[in-house]
Amino acid sequence: MLASLPKLAGYLSVTLFVTLLSVVPGLILAALLAVWKDQGSRIVSGGYRIFISFIRSTPFIVQLFVVYFGVPQLLSGAGVDVSDLPPLLFVLVIFALHVAGYGAEILRGSLAAIQPGEKEAAASLGMTDAQIYRRIVLPQAFVLSIPPLVNEVISTLKGTALIFNVGIVDVMRQAELMGGNSQRYLELYVDVAILYGAMIFALTLLGRALEHHFRISEDTLTVIGGEYE
């Protein structure tokens, strides 16, 4: 059963690449969205709610297909040909948006947990709103959000198992191809489960180490909904 692990493990680079290049820009966008919602007008809040509702109320595979198949059709109608763009680009876009949608709500909860007096004190020192958020508010929000954000990274990692649906050869796709030759699908999928389990276990340990390093209390985790899954 474990004989296929080394060959399948060679495709983990694709899985980790997609996860990393989705999480980093996704979290940056999440921070911007959370701040805009915290400081924004009704129009900004309305757009935020529409985006969050779409991300959180539709299956991820539907979002992937909407971006992968729908966006090229819309652009072709406007005279823009994107047929030469690699499928990976569309995958990274929707994964980043997915991370941004969930991450923004996580960070919003953490922003609410920060004492208003800290922003008032910073403002009294002459800091601008941008400086207050960049130097004081967002660093604390990210620290408070470590457990739920790690859960979101884990969710993104597991979601990469769907990218073979748009033609990207990752661990799942390679297992499917190898199964087509050997007809040993069950063994190969068990091997895939082992690989994903190992990666998720490592991420969980990393999250707990960060939580311990920053001494995030149990009461704080309760406020922001942050225990590990």
- Residue 205's Cβ-count burial label (10 Å; 0-12, 13-18, 19+) is exposed
Instruction: Render pLDDT for 176-222 as a digit per residue (tens, 0 to 9).
Output: 999 988 888 899 999 999 999 999 999 999 999 988 887 755 455 44
- The pTM assigned to this predicted structure is 0.85
Please give the domain boundaries of the chain with CATH numbers for all domains.
14-166 (1.10.3720.10)
CA-to-CA distance for 175 and 107, rounded, in angstroms?
Answer: 36
Q: What is the pLDDT of residue 222?
A: 46
Q: What is the pLDDT of residue 223?
A: 45
Q: Which residues of the chain have pLDDT under 70?
A: 1, 41, 216-229
Q: What is the pLDDT of residue 85?
A: 87
Q: Give me the DSSP letters along 177-203.
A: HHHHHH--HHHHHHHHHHHHHHHHHHH
Q: What is the pLDDT of residue 217?
A: 53
Q: What is the pLDDT of residue 221?
A: 46
